[in-house]
Amino acid sequence: MPFSATGGLGDVLGSLPAALAATGKADVRVVLPLYEALSNEWRRQLKEETVFYVPLSWRHQYCGVYSLVKDGVTYYFLDNEYYFKRSALYGFFDDGERYAFFCMAVLEMMEKLQFYPDVLHAHDWQAALSVVYLNCLYRCRPGYENIRTVFTIHNIEYQGKYDFSILGDVFSLGENEHTLMENDGCINLMKAAIECADRVSTVSPRYAEEILTAEYAHGLESTLCRNRGKLSGILNGIDYVYYDPQHDKGIAKTFTARSLHNKAQNKLALQKETGLPQREDVPMLAVISRLASHKGLDLIADCICRIVEENDVQLVVLGKGEARYEFFFSDLQHRFPDKVRALITYDRDLSKRIYAATDIFLMPSRSEPCGLSQMIASRYGAIPVVRETGGLYDSIKPYWIEGTTMHGNGFTFAGYSGEELRERTQAAIAVWRDPNARKALLTKIMKTDFSWGTSAKRYLELYATL
């Protein structure tokens, strides 16, 4: 963000580097491919740094380096149109080769720019090979000896798995690296980075524990258990400037915890925009998510019909994904035309209007490394209903009243069951309907700190241990 992004990783790399730079304690530089998605507005600001050729097995590939400084961070864009001038960021038959090129280019670039960082921090499988190449191919060259590495797992489901036949031809590695690269009989880039990195982190403390187990690790549990001494979890933050209900120009009416009555204007505006009956007094539920099972969509499908049928509520769904869920929600809209809107698309601006409008936000993920939507929803004054997993567990604590003390900042449940989701959603609706309880809870929710400040400090501490 804001150059090219498809999901949460894009959000994190759009805000963590600036937060690190803002501490004044680090010179932060981000390297990314020069994707086709980069708009002309940004392209015009690029400065040409250098050009060189990247050795990748028998290949000899052009690499242009362009830079841009934003919010105290230097961004380097690596240009090669054969690899990156494509209709999407990833999802191509040759992704293995594309990211091998990228990782090798990152290491080459250090020498060409004479900039050897103290810490190389690689994110997810696409960047995993940079850590591997540093250890296996570059370590003995002058300048590279002291670089330390952190590898961050944003989602362990995507590991970068390939057949061994391309170990030499595409990945430029040999039999010496066979054991390092191997998991379950195939090349596994994430596994190799976990082995090579000095520290491995993931995006919430809870997920760092979960991925030590077979239930969550997608086959990497033994690798992680073996490396658990270097594993930690640091909760993500969100961009408090981009997500700011007090100054957001993209929403109908700005508001704060002290002017919650203004939030209702956003609901009326969204109802108008989507053709739902315009009513302030009806609680609006929302789901903003990739429509995939592991986001808990099956739980929603299990119980949402009953919730909509039995309650005076509205439901807005935004997202695309698996066809069966797209059909499910479109069908639900047909059945309840006055209550349900299924917006089968990915639209950042629209998502902010929904966050601002909605009263209750549903996020019952099966697994969730961190999750940002529950934080964004909270910032925009929506009560989160979440399943207790990963970052959802770390960021949202159960609401309950003990005498005059209020605990928690949302509604949570542990089992993977539609019935529990339904029951907690009913409880959230009940609190929303009680004006005093609603005000007290929303004030607390909106004041919960999900900014990057604390987490950026944690990353600096992690770097310092190296």
What is the binding site for ligand GLC (CB under 6 A)? 7-9, 12, 154-155, 203, 236, 368-372, 391
Least CB distance to ligand GLC at residue 157 (A): 8
412's enclosing H/E stretch is strand 411-413
Strand 360-363 relative to strand 340-343: parallel, antiparallel, unpaired? Answer: unpaired
Q: What minimum distance in Å lies between the beta carbon of 294 and ligand GLC?
A: 9
Query: What is the number of the residue whose Cβ is closest to ligand GLC?
Result: 8
Please, are residues 354 and 329 in contact by the beta-carbon 8 Å criterion? no
Encoding tokens for residue 273?
A: 């925009």
Residue 9 vs 354, nearer CB to ligand GLC: 9
Task: Identify which of residues 371 and 384 has a Cβ nearer to ligand GLC in the complex.
Answer: 371
Nearer to ligand GLC, 105 or 370 (CB): 370
Burial 50-87 (b: 16+ CB within 10 A, else e): eeeebebbeeebebbbbbbebebbbbbbbbbeebbebe
Inter-residue contact 364 to 421 (CB < 8 Å): yes
CB of 155 to ligand GLC, least distance (A): 4
CB closer to ligand GLC out of 111 and 388:
388
- Angle, vertex CA 219, rays to CA 215 and CA 222, nearest 5: 95
CB nearer to ligand GLC: give 182 or 347: 347
Residue 354 beta carbon to ligand GLC: minimum distance, rounded to whole angstroms: 18
Nearest-Å Rg of the Cα atoms of the chain is 23
CA atoms within 13 A on the CB side of 206: 16
- In the complex with ligand GLC, which residue's Cβ is closer, 13 or 308? 13
If the CB atoms of residues 30 and 56 are measured against ligand GLC, the closer one turns out to be: 30
CB nearer to ligand GLC: give 319 or 369. 369
Nearest to 32 by CA among 113, 117, 99: 99
Shortest gap between Cβ of 239 and ligand GLC (angstroms)? 12
The CB-of-204 to ligand GLC minimum distance in angstroms stands at 8
Nearer to ligand GLC, 80 or 152 (CB): 152
> What is the rounded CA–CA span in Å between residue 294 and residue 309?
25
Rounded least distance, CB 305 to ligand GLC, Å: 27
Closer residue to ligand GLC (CB): 145 or 157: 157
Q: Which amino acid is at 244?
A: D
Is 50:113 a contact under the CB 8 Å cutoff?
yes
Cα(458)–Cα(390) distance, integer angstroms: 18
Q: How far is the CB of 262 from ligand GLC (least distance, A)?
A: 29
- Distance between CA atoms of 379 and 446, rounded to whole angstroms? 5
Residue number, 154 or 422, with CB nearest to ligand GLC: 154
Name the amino acid, one letter, at 413: F
Q: How far is the CB of 304 from ligand GLC (least distance, A)?
A: 22
Chain mean position to CA 45:
27
Tokens read off for 314: 């509205």
Q: Which two tokens stand for residue 26?
A: 């680090």
Residue 388 CB, nearest approach to ligand GLC (Å): 14
Strand 400-402 and strand 383-387: pairing?
Answer: unpaired
Query: How do the residues of the chain divide into helix, strand and coil, expressed in percent and rounded to 5?
Result: 45, 20, 35
Token digits of residue 317: 């769904």
The whole-angstrom separation of Cα 437 and Cα 29 is 46
In this structure, are residues 36 and 84 in contact, taking their beta carbons and an 8 Å threshold? yes
Please report how close the Cβ of residue 124 comes to ligand GLC at its closest, in angstroms.
8
